[in-house]
């Protein structure tokens, strides 16, 4: 959860880099640093500071600091505590400087080998091993900076976005991407690099997005790129005004629809740098995470609204995959009952904004209890929730403007599934099982994209709900929280009264409401509960109820007079809560549009609830 920015120009780039860091500060603020090829000495000049970027800015004002080539970084600690010595950039022999996003899993072995040949390490980070490896290749083998980086990345296991400068080649930046995004900003007589186009909105609106495995050489006048097979390639230039990208609806009628369609992209952002091809990189949770996770034997979750539904899904995951108990409480009620904390319990708070008053109050209350640790799942790195928790995992959803949460919810689920897998490996989950889950996660963005292709069909379906006053949502097992989220979305933005029930509870009361005027909406994946759900739905149909089903294409449902079916792509069971949420978001959106309500700012609601 770090930010990178760099520049090659004919002017001083220090203020460009500083502004870029400020724009990336939402990604983490443990420390910040900058390295330039000094215009005074032609050597690498480096400044680092603990805390927010403003601390770095203050340090830069204390002495001359200017250069035409430079790299900068804002850090969220994964290896080594927050400190100036662990802050990036890291430098080898005053010759080469590196900034790095991601996690190098085999850094301990690399570090030991480098120490054996005389390299002295000044930090606890994985990144310092990378800069010494590059220096070693340049010094001992006479390689160019580009060749040294190409050689080095072949030795790295894990995820990385690297940016490298050298005093001996002061006219370029070398960048490499694997599992952690990087973008090149294209200027006129100058070029830039960053981990997010947002960082460069003040200097360019033209960007090249590096693909997995790419390595690039960036100079004043050229950008050369090699792919994962070391073949020269060209990457297309995309025009984007990053200043307004997060506050402009673009081609979409509402921010909510835009944010629904962003989910494949932001889910990839959530996963980037946190999973390899085979397993979850638990270092992404921070330096304190391993010691805390080692103690976890149960979990307590608190949250509000949509985040509460994410917690309910997580309960199913933890109890099924990790085989440990999980309790989920609405944050506003949590501290008003007699809490019994079992030994080994991890406290998890979930909030999109990190400023939700009830969730913050619950966290502060939990600090007085004997939890093994307090983990925040949040979208805002500078929020109170993150600052007051022991450790966190950021969802990387980007700014969400629509009050009804969409992409924030699905990225919360992704982050919570990563947490589940990290805990599960300590409670008997085999490497083979984890590898399958990670393969599924790597396919998730493509499955989201495929699901969004159902939008025209869902828009047509929504017409049948336009004039309804009530709706009943059903789900069984892990789909019950999905049904609750679907009902919440419909009531939030269309003002239709909607309730969700476990499908098996129909005959215990809700069935009395079912008639031809009551739409019944259900999500039906092809899982172990399919036969049970079919039986529940027959009870609705037998009483003249109108069924609207989002069902797996292999589940055996067909359209008839009383049943409208949207056939969903087949998905792994573990991903079904994420995938089946999306059509319910679209359905709610289109119904609200037909009813003419204020989709993005529904009445009586606020984006962040900062009062109890």
Please tell me the predicted confidence (pLDDT) of residue 458.
97
In the set 2, 378, 392, 414, the catalytic residue is 2
Around 444, how many Cα atoms within 13 Å sit in the side-chain half-sphere? 33
Q: Which residue has the higher pLDDT, 512 or 293?
A: 293
CA dihedral over 283, 288, 289, 294, signed as positive or negative: positive
**Residue 247: pLDDT over 70:** no
Looking at residues 24-46, what average pLDDT do you find? 85
**Residue 611: pLDDT over 50:** no
pLDDT digits 0-9 by tens, 169-212: 999 999 999 878 899 999 999 999 998 888 898 899 899 989 88
Cβ pair 540, 506 in contact under 8 A: yes
Average pLDDT of the chain is 92
**Residue 131: pLDDT over 80:** yes
Cα angle, residue 89 at apex, residues 176 and 192 outer, rounded to 5°: 50
Q: 497: which 2 tokens? A: 């009264």
In the set 249, 295, 595, 607, the catalytic residue is 607
The percentage of the chain sitting over the pLDDT mark of 90, rounded to a whole number, equals 73
pLDDT band at 465 (very low <50, low <70, confident <90, very high): very high
Please tell me the predicted confidence (pLDDT) of residue 444.
97
By CB atoms closer than 10 A (0-12, 13-18, 19+), residue 241 is exposed
Please tell me the predicted confidence (pLDDT) of residue 244.
42
Candidate from 255-264, 376-385, 600-609 with smallest mean pLDDT: 600-609
> Strand, helix or coil at 550?
strand
pLDDT digits 0-9 by tens, 526-548: 999 898 888 888 888 777 778 99
The yes-or-no answer on residue 607 being catalytic is: yes
Q: Given its phi and psi angles, is residue 237 left (phi above 0), alpha (psi -120 to 50 degrees) or beta?
A: beta
CA dihedral over 93, 96, 101, 102, signed as positive or negative: negative
- Residues with Cβ within 8 Å of 387's Cβ and at least 6 positions away in sequence, in order, are none
Candidate from 25-29, 91-95, 109-113, 501-505 with smallest mean pLDDT: 25-29
Looking at residues 142-147, what average pLDDT do you find? 96
pLDDT digits 0-9 by tens, 312-363: 999 999 999 999 999 999 999 999 988 899 999 999 999 998 888 899 999 9
Please tell me the predicted confidence (pLDDT) of residue 355.
83
pLDDT band at 609 (very low <50, low <70, confident <90, very high): low
**Residue 395: pLDDT over 60:** yes
| Per-residue buried b or exposed e for 113-148, using 16+ beta carbons within 10 Å of the residue's own CB | ebeeeebeeebebbbbbbbbbbbbbbeeeebbbbeb
Please tell me the predicted confidence (pLDDT) of residue 243.
45
The predicted model scores a pTM of: 0.79
Report the alpha-carbon distance of residue 552 to residue 530 in Å, rounded.
10
Q: 18: which 2 tokens? A: 């500083």
pLDDT digits 0-9 by tens, 42-58: 999 999 999 888 899 99
Closest to 198 in 3D by CA, of 4, 12, 401, 49: 4
Q: 154: which 2 tokens? A: 């072949």
The yes-or-no answer on residue 154 being catalytic is: no
pLDDT band at 242 (very low <50, low <70, confident <90, very high): very low
């Amino acid at each position: 959860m770090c930010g990178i920015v760099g520049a090659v120009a004919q002017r001083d780039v220090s203020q460009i880099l500083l502004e870029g860091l400020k724009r990336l500060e939402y990604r983490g603020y443990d420390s910040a640093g900058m390295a330039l090829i000094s215009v005074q000495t032609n050597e690498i000049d480096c400044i680092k500071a603990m805390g927010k970027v403003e601390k770095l800015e203050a340090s830069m004002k204390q002495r001359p600091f200017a250069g035409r080539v430079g790299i900068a970084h804002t850090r969220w600690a994964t290896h080594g505590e927050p400190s100036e010595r662990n802050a990036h950039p890291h430098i080898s022999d005053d010759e080469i400087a590196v900034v790095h996003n991601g996690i190098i899993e085999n850094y301990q072995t690399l570090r030991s080998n480098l120490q054996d040949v005389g390299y002295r390490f000044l930090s606890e980070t994985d990144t310092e091993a990378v800069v010494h490896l590059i220096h070693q290749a340049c010094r001992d083998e006479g390689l160019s900076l580009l060749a040294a980086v190409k050689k080095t990345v072949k030795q790295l296991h894990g995820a990385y976005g690297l940016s490298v400068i050298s005093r001996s080649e002061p006219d370029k930046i070398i960048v490499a991407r694997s599992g952690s995004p990087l973008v090149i900003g294209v200027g006129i007589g100058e070029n830039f690099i960053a981990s997010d186009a947002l960082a460069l909105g003040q200097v360019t609106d033209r960007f090249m997005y590096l693909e997995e495995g790419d390595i690039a050489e960036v100079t004043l006048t050229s950008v050369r790129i090699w792919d994962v097979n070391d073949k020269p390639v060209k990457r297309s230039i995309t025009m984007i005004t990053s200043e307004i990208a997060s506050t402009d609806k673009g081609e979409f009628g509402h921010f909510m629809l835009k944010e629904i369609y962003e989910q494949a992209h932001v889910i990839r952002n959530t996963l980037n740098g946190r999973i390899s091809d085979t397993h979850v990189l638990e270092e992404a949770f921070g330096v304190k995470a391993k010691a805390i996770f080692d103690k976890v034997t149960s979990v307590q979750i608190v949250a509000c609204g949509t985040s509460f539904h994410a917690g309910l899904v997580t309960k199913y995951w933890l109890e099924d995959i990790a085989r440990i108990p999980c309790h989920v409480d609405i944050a506003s009620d949590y501290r008003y009952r007699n809490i019994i904390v079992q030994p080994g319990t991890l406290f998890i708070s979930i909030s999109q904004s990190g400023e939700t008053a009830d969730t913050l109050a619950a966290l502060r209350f939990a600090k007085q209890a004997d939890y093994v640790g307090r983990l925040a799942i949040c979208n805002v790195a500078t929020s109170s929730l993150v600052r007051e928790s022991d450790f966190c995992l950021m969802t990387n959803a980007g700014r969400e403007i629509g009050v009804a949460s969409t992409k924030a919810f699905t990225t919360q689920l992704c982050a919570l599934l990563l947490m589940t897998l990290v805990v599960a490996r300590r409670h008997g989950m085999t490497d083979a099982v984890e590898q399958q889950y990670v393969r599924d996660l790597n396919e998730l963005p493509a499955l989201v994209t495929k699901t969004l292709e159902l939008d025209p069909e869902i828009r047509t379906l929504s017409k049948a709900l336009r004039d309804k006053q009530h709706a009943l949502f059903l789900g069984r097992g892990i789909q019950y929280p999905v049904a609750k989220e679907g009902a919440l979305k419909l009531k939030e933005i269309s003002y239709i009264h909607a309730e969700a029930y476990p499908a098996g509870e129909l005959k215990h009361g809700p069935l009395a409401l079912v008639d031809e005027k009551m739409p019944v909406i259900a999500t039906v994946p092809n899982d172990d509960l399919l036969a049970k759900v079919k039986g529940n739905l027959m009870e609705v149909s037998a009483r003249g109820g109108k069924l609207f089903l989002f069902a797996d294409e292999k589940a055996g449902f067909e359209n008839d007079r009383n049943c409208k079916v949207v056939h969903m792509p087949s998905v792994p069971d573990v991903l079904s809560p994420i995938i089946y949420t999306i059509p319910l978001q679209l359905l709610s959106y289109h119904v609200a549009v037909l009813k003419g309500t204020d989709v993005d700012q529904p009445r009586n609601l606020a984006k962040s609830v900062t009062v109890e």
